[in-house]
């Protein structure tokens, strides 16, 4: 579809060409297909590997109770493991954590074998103010962060691991550990090294732990351990709260795949497959603010065409049939375009966008342009939306306003 744009205030006509790219963050898929997944995928239940973990049926892999699910729900959409969380998101997580800590989990968790193993860090309250390793890596979604707990060995240890990627390798910081009581683990960091896939040896992490004295020591309380052994809440000696999981739900795996840029297609296919029955039902275009975090777009038009067709930025949906595209360009400039949506079929909406303006502080520069296309909802809930829009491009949006439709 070609757009003819008239920049009214500047007094010239412009058929846009891709000569300018605003500074925005968008994840683009590395494949092109008008189908979301092949027919063979949806006809059978398969095991799929996403981000290095084996993914099976949601009910078979994950078993969380109602209170645990409320915490997981609060974590969906938080970026940087808490670093970029809004005040409302932090409040929701804190409330859910306190409920779990008052709930009956595994008694004396340090005495249980369920605490052993590799845990993935999903959230921390202080990702920028704790240890150097946290400040450097924990708030970066592109990396995966794990904690290994092994207390029933001749050499009890707690280790923090930053996995850069399957291709690059990881950094492992180890601590000698001991059990103080049913909740508390004492530890002292004593060694660390980089393990790069392209090197046959480990590279020492340049921290003199022996010279740090008490700074290398600490403790970790497990304030909740799920009976399934898949969810843990811990609090550290520096006042940090940690939420860790051994197993994750499909929405978490999808967002993780998008954050790392690996296995996105497989994660989307798995997610849609697990929710096939739900996707057959009528789905409404829910109101709220929806930030695009990924699209399958390969061929790039001019930024203004991308913005007008909803291929970047945020969508603000209102119940009265109004929708707004909002894109941050740079230096305080934003592109805004208003329009309307009308339901034209099952899970399909017709969008007409015809009121565009470039905003700079209190000033606006109207642009005469129009864009029409269909938006098909492939999946939608209160936190995440998967849709197919302009030119059959698939999108993933996250709700950012914290609201939910009642």
Contact by Cβ (8 Å): 238, 219: no
217 and 258 part of one domain: no
CA distance 357 to 29: 29
315 and 383 part of one domain: yes
Which of 93-102, 123-132, 197-206, 212-221 has the least mean pLDDT?
123-132
73 and 142 part of one domain: yes
CA distance 313 to 317: 13
The contacts of residue 278 (CB under 8 Å, 6+ apart) are 379
The contacts of residue 131 (CB under 8 Å, 6+ apart) are none
Interval 10-44: pLDDT, tens: 222 233 333 233 333 344 433 333 345 443 333 32
Q: What pLDDT is recorded for position 40?
A: 34
284 and 209 part of one domain: no
Query: In the chain, how many domains are there?
Result: 2
SS3 label, residue 268: helix
- Measured N-to-C along each axis, helices 87-101 and 66-75 cross at an angle, to the nearest 10 degrees, of 160
Q: What pLDDT is recorded for position 226?
A: 95
Q: Is residue 263 part of a domain?
A: yes
CA distance 274 to 214: 49
222 and 305 part of one domain: no
**Does position 9 have pLDDT exceeding 60, yes or no?**
no
Q: What is the CATH number of the domain that holds 359?
A: 2.40.128.280
Containing domain of residue 121, as a range?
66-247
**Does position 141 have pLDDT exceeding 80, yes or no?**
no
User: DSSP label at 290?
Assistant: E
**Does position 277 have pLDDT exceeding 60, yes or no?**
yes
Q: What pLDDT is recorded for position 312?
A: 87
Q: What pLDDT is recorded for position 305?
A: 85
Q: Is residue 370 part of a domain?
A: yes
93 and 208 part of one domain: yes
**Does position 236 have pLDDT exceeding 50, yes or no?**
yes
**Does position 168 have pLDDT exceeding 60, yes or no?**
yes
Q: What pLDDT is recorded for position 33?
A: 37
219 and 354 part of one domain: no
CA distance 268 to 258: 10
Interval 332-370: pLDDT, tens: 899 999 999 999 999 999 999 999 999 998 888 999 999
Model confidence, pTM: 0.72
CA distance 365 to 362: 10
Q: Choose among 108, 110, 105, 107: nearest CA to 185.
A: 110
Strand partners, 225: 232
Q: What pLDDT is recorded for position 206?
A: 85
Q: Look at residues 223, 247, 271 and tell me which one is the last residue of a structural domain.
A: 247
Q: What pLDDT is recorded for position 132?
A: 56
Contact by Cβ (8 Å): 334, 345: no
**Does position 130 have pLDDT exceeding 60, yes or no?**
no
208 and 293 part of one domain: no
Give the pair of three-digit tokens for residue 236: 């550290």
Q: For residues 122 and 300, which has the higher predicted lDDT (pLDDT)?
A: 122
Mean pLDDT of 53-82: 72
166 and 312 part of one domain: no
Q: Is residue 59 part of a domain?
A: no
Interval 380-406: pLDDT, tens: 988 899 999 988 999 999 998 865 544
Q: What pLDDT is recorded for position 68?
A: 94
Q: Look at residues 200, 217, 247 and tell me which one is the last residue of a structural domain.
A: 247
CA distance 346 to 202: 56
Q: What pLDDT is recorded for position 80?
A: 75
Interval 292-315: pLDDT, tens: 999 998 766 788 888 888 888 999
Q: What pLDDT is recorded for position 114?
A: 96
Q: What is the CATH number of the domain that holds 77?
A: 2.40.128
Mean pLDDT of 252-280: 83
Q: Is residue 388 part of a domain?
A: yes
181 and 272 part of one domain: no
Question: Hey, which bits of 58-212 come out as E strands?
Answer: 117-124, 144-150, 157-165, 169-179, 184-196, 203-204
- Measured N-to-C along each axis, helices 250-260 and 264-274 cross at an angle, to the nearest 10 degrees, of 160
Q: What pLDDT is recorded for position 45?
A: 33
279 and 204 part of one domain: no
Q: What pLDDT is recorded for position 99?
A: 95
Give the pair of three-digit tokens for residue 153: 């060995």
172 and 267 part of one domain: no
Q: For residues 374 and 361, which has the higher predicted lDDT (pLDDT)?
A: 374
Mean pLDDT of 92-113: 94
- Mean pLDDT (the chain) is 80
Q: Is residue 15 part of a domain?
A: no
CA distance 356 to 100: 47
Q: Is residue 404 part of a domain?
A: no
Q: Is residue 23 part of a domain?
A: no
Q: What pLDDT is recorded for position 36?
A: 55
Q: What are phi and psi of 337, to 5 degrees?
A: -140, 125
Q: Look at residues 206, 224, 247 and tell me which one is the last residue of a structural domain.
A: 247
Q: Is residue 19 part of a domain?
A: no
């Amino acid at each position: 579809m070609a757009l003819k744009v008239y920049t009214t205030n500047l007094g010239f006509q412009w058929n846009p060409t891709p000569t300018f790219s605003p500074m925005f963050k968008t994840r683009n898929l590395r494949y092109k297909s008008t189908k979301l997944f092949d027919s063979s995928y949806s006809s059978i239940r398969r095991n799929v590997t996403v981000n290095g973990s084996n993914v099976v049926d949601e009910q078979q892999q994950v078993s969380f109770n109602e209170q645990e699910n409320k915490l997981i729900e609060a974590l969906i959409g938080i970026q940087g493991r808490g670093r970029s969380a809004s005040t409302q998101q932090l409040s929701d997580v804190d409330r859910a954590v306190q409920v779990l800590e008052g709930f009956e989990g595994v008694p004396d968790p340090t005495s249980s074998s369920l605490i052993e193993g590799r845990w993935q860090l999903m959230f921390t309250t202080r990702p920028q103010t704790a240890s150097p390793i946290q400040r450097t890596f924990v708030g970066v979604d592109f990396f995966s962060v794990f904690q290994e707990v092994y207390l029933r060995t001749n050499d009890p240890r707690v280790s923090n691991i930053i996995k850069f990627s399957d291709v690059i390798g990881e950094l492992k910081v180890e601590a000698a550990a001991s059990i103080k009581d049913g909740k508390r683990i004492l530890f002292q960091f004593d060694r660390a090294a980089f393990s790069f896939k392209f090197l046959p040896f480990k590279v020492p992490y340049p921290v003199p732990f022996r010279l740090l004295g008490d700074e290398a020591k600490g403790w970790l309380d497990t304030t909740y351990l799920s009976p399934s052994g898949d969810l843990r809440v811990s609090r550290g000696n520096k006042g940090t709260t940690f939420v860790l999981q051994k197993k994750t739900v499909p929405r978490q795996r999808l967002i993780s795949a998008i954050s790392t840029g690996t296995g996105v297609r497989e994660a989307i296919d798995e997610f849609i497959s697990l929710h096939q029955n739900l996707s057959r039902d009528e789905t409404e275009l829910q109101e709220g603010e929806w930030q695009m975090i990924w699209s399958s777009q390969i061929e790039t038009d001019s930024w203004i065409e991308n913005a007008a067709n909803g291929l970047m930025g945020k969508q603000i949906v209102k119940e009265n049939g109004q929708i707004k595209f909002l894109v941050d360009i740079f230096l305080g400039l934003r592109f805004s375009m208003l329009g309307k949506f009308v339901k034209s079929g099952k899970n399909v909406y017709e969008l007409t966008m015809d009121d565009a303006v470039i905003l700079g502080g209190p000033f606006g520069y109207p642009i005469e342009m129009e864009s029409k296309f269909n938006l098909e909802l492939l999946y939608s809930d209160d936190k995440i939306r998967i849709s197919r829009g302009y030119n059959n491009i698939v999108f993933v949006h996250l709700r950012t306003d914290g609201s939910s439709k009642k």
